[in-house]
């Protein structure tokens, strides 16, 4: 397979609610769950792996996973040949026949958001469990979490490896659908409880801006995408 070149998607990932991408570390009783920060700048960022994982998961839930690990029903598709495996890589080394197309960069804060977060603190959102008998906050059941405050923005960048038979425009359509689904869903922790409501703006693919109504386009093509848009021409 000949690597013909790269396409590039850029944009701005904006927060419509606070974002919690946790480190998984146990902060100790009563302390807020910490978020990922850059060790160099101390500022929060969105790891490429978080974006990639969420987009892949939503596309698989929407368009199916032809083959999963029978010992792990929740695992990513392992068929190695569906559109999602071609874009994101097969979930199994044994069925990997070609390189992954999509490269998700870590997303760092825009300059205005960096300046804002140098002045204000990260949000510390309290969480409580409601006692089912009393209907009040249960004793000792506080679980606060750190969040990047709503309104902050990150720089989005996804590189696309294009092999000899790949259609850049088909990759663009699959990526647009992935972004569209992520806006409808949530990113990071606490997504079913208000956190991680995101939007993508100023999107460009190979320096060409997405049309204003790109979300309407995705809505219209959602059911036909899998059948009609193939990233790889039959060789």
Q: Does 158 bind Zn ion (CB under 5 A)?
A: no
Nearer to Zn ion, 83 or 113 (CB): 83
Nearer to Zn ion, 54 or 65 (CB): 65
Name the burial class of residue 227, with classes exposed (0-12), middle (13-18) and buried (19+) by CB atoms within 10 angstroms of its CB.
Answer: exposed
Stretch in the footprint of Zn ion (CB under 5 A) among 17-25, 34-42, 71-79, 216-224: 71-79
| Helix axis angle, 214-221 to 168-184, nearest 10° | 100
138 within 8 A of 130, measured Cβ to Cβ: yes
112 within 8 A of 153, measured Cβ to Cβ: yes
Binding mask 78-117 for Zn ion (x = CB under 5 A): -x--x--x--------------------------------
Q: Does 231 bind Zn ion (CB under 5 A)?
A: no
- 183's enclosing H/E stretch is helix 168-184
Q: Does 77 bind Zn ion (CB under 5 A)?
A: yes
Q: Site for Zn ion (CB under 5 A): how many residues?
A: 4
Nearer to Zn ion, 77 or 102 (CB): 77
Least distance to Zn ion from the beta carbon of 94, Å?
13
Least distance to Zn ion from the beta carbon of 219, Å?
24
Nearer to Zn ion, 43 or 92 (CB): 92
What is the 8-class DSSP label of residue 191? G
Nearer to Zn ion, 52 or 147 (CB): 52
Query: Which residues make Cβ contacts (< 8 Å) with residue 134, sequence separation at least 6?
Result: none
Least distance to Zn ion from the beta carbon of 13, Å?
26
Least distance to Zn ion from the beta carbon of 75, Å?
11
* Separation of alpha carbons 51 and 144, rounded Å: 24
Nearer to Zn ion, 97 or 213 (CB): 97
* Separation of alpha carbons 216 and 8, rounded Å: 22
Task: Tally Cβ neighbours within 10 Å of residue 33.
Answer: 21
- Can you give the binding site for Zn ion, defined by CB under 5 A? 77, 79, 82, 85
């Amino acid at each position: 397979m000949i690597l013909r070149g790269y396409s590039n998607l850029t944009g701005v990932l904006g927060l419509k609610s606070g974002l919690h991408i946790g480190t998984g570390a146990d902060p100790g009783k009563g302390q807020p769950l910490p978020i990922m920060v850059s060790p160099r700048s101390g500022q929060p960022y969105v790891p490429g792996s978080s974006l990639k994982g969420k987009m892949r998961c939503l596309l698989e839930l929407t368009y199916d996973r032809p083959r999963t690990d029978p010992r792990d029903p929740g695992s990513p598709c392992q068929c190695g040949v569906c559109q999602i495996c071609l874009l994101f890589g097969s979930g199994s080394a044994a069925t990997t026949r070609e390189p992954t197309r999509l490269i998700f960069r870590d997303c760092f804060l825009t300059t205005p958001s960096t300046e804002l977060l140098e002045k204000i603190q990260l949000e510390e959102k309290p969480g409580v469990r409601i006692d089912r008998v009393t209907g009040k906050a249960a004793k000792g059941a506080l679980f606060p979490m750190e969040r990047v405050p709503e309104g902050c923005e990150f720089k989005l960048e996804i590189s696309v490896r294009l092999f000899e038979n790949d259609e850049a425009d088909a990759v663009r359509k699959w990526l647009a659908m992935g972004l569209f689904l992520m806006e409808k869903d949530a990113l990071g922790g606490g997504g079913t409880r208000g956190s991680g409501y995101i939007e993508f703006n100023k999107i460009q693919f190979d320096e060409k801006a997405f049309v204003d109504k790109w979300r309407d386009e995705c809505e219209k093509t959602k059911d036909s995408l899998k059948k009609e848009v193939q990233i790889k021409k039959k060789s």
